[in-house]
Structure 1
């Protein structure tokens, strides 16, 4: 399948640089046989009692660091944690700029007592850093010296104000490890959660530590040549059992975000039974994929040529999503991480 199928023109002025305030007043485009314009606060009226919303409870860490190799400036963005080194130090794959200045065994200094050794280097700017701190002791240093890893399309310096520290974190954030927010969860407020509860709509959480690779456009001409970055996820036995029970009684599973969907589909077998999960997934969902668990998807509006636009096209149909995005552009919807939301029906259920 050719990547060009997932390209489209997007005016820069539709890219959101701050979230809606209040967050539950973000626009919500319902995409089924027709398109319907709503607000997030209307969500309880668009789904049914007995449905189950599945949120991602990962917590974004300040993953962007500036340091030096000798006198040369280096910026790295952590994107995937690896098991500790033999001496117990934290190890992370990073995207480094400029990576050409780094070689194996180079030392990058971020602050006094805060350094890392280059352990490995791959094409495309990926560098494996072995830090001089154990994993749990690394986090306070990230809080002090790191910046929130804002997506590249948000045109301001990460950390240039304090607002992003709160804006780019969901109300469900609990387990630290993500370097990108599960942005479909940014729209939920106390009054929206109360309205959902009063309607008889349940919710629970799972954990997928979102990697920075989620921002990367697909650069190959054919999708079969694209390599996904893996991400670490966890679904408990209790969560899997509850989701299976809801499905058995006829409730619908609603993934809040593509991150929740990717983990649910990674943990499902071919009989549409969900199993506990603890490990890595590099699932790449494109048109033709047969969904096993997720019935509805809530998700923001994604980049052209991105794996996420490919995923939503697999879920709701490529022609329908191209038309939905044109509708959104023409009707003032805001795009990307801080933008508006869509509620997608599965193409095979229409």
Structure 2
């Protein structure tokens, strides 16, 4: 089996650019193994598909406002995508990031976000850059950050306020992802309550989603 076996064409007009008005009204495809059939449902009908004592496990990772816009001292624009905050020092002002710009900066270059906030390029390993901000990375993301959206969601000016509200699960708690665990986006408090009333067990784990989710999938041909 090759990864290429799973390649398929998805026309752009079939890729939703905005979510349904209500989270639980999104579409749900149910694979019925007993009948060997596909059933088109809506997400709120999950209560009909799960049985009492089933266990539903959800990822409570919270998505960071990891996309930053800066410029080099030369004036060139730089898009920063924070991958990981380094915790080796108490100030939490260092991070691993990917940079998108016309010409990659050199070691020691300053990336300027505002008159008061900047980041120094410490080193580079492949596509990854080590950056040291002059304040906490968490503070930088809170003040200047934008929620990273998947590349197939087209927003010329970046994520909107609606995106920042909807592109986050309702049970997100532990900050660390740069992309939302999208399977959980369709749950609502009401739906979780109904599942609980049916005695469907709920558990949580934390699995942070990294930039690999944005990367194109490649495969080798034998």
Regarding TM over 0.5, the answer is yes
Partner of 1:28: 28
Partner of 2:50: 47
Give 1:194 deviation, angstroms: 1.8
Counterpart-to-counterpart distance in 1, 2:93 and 2:102: 20
Give 1:35 deviation, angstroms: 1.0
Partner of 2:84: 80
Counterpart-to-counterpart distance in 1, 2:67 and 2:156: 11
Counterpart-to-counterpart distance in 2, 1:90 and 1:105: 16
Counterpart-to-counterpart distance in 2, 1:89 and 1:30: 44
Give 1:132 deviation, angstroms: 2.3
Partner of 2:197: 198
Give 1:222 deviation, angstroms: 5.8
* 2:25 matches 1:10: no
Q: Structure 1: give runs of 5+ residues left out of the alignment.
A: 224-350
Aligned residue pair count? 218
Partner of 2:166: 167
CA contact (8 A) 1:52 1:203 kept: yes
Q: Which runs of 4+ in 1 moved over 4 A?
A: none
Name the structure where helix makes up a greater proportion of residues.
1
Counterpart-to-counterpart distance in 2, 1:17 and 1:148: 15
Give 1:138 deviation, angstroms: 2.6
Give 1:83 deviation, angstroms: 3.0
Partner of 1:121: 124
Counterpart-to-counterpart distance in 2, 1:166 and 1:66: 21
CA contact (8 A) 2:62 2:168 kept: yes
Counterpart-to-counterpart distance in 1, 2:221 and 2:55: 36
Counterpart-to-counterpart distance in 2, 1:220 and 1:105: 36
CA RMSD of aligned residues (A): 2.1
Counterpart-to-counterpart distance in 2, 1:79 and 1:117: 16
CA contact (8 A) 1:148 1:158 kept: no
Summarize the Cα distance change of 1:60–1:99 in structure 2 as closer, same or farther, 3 Å threshold.
Answer: farther
Give 1:3 deviation, angstroms: 3.4
Partner of 1:106: 109
Counterpart-to-counterpart distance in 2, 1:152 and 1:158: 13
Give 1:219 deviation, angstroms: 3.0
Counterpart-to-counterpart distance in 1, 2:159 and 2:22: 22
CA contact (8 A) 1:99 1:126 kept: no
Summarize the Cα distance change of 1:98–1:50 in structure 2 as closer, same or farther, 3 Å threshold.
Answer: same
1:58 to 55, 58, 61: 61
TM-score of the aligned structures, taking structure 2 as reference length: 0.89
TM-score of the aligned structures, taking structure 1 as reference length: 0.58
SS at match of 1:164: helix
Give 1:89 deviation, angstroms: 4.2
Counterpart-to-counterpart distance in 1, 2:115 and 2:172: 30
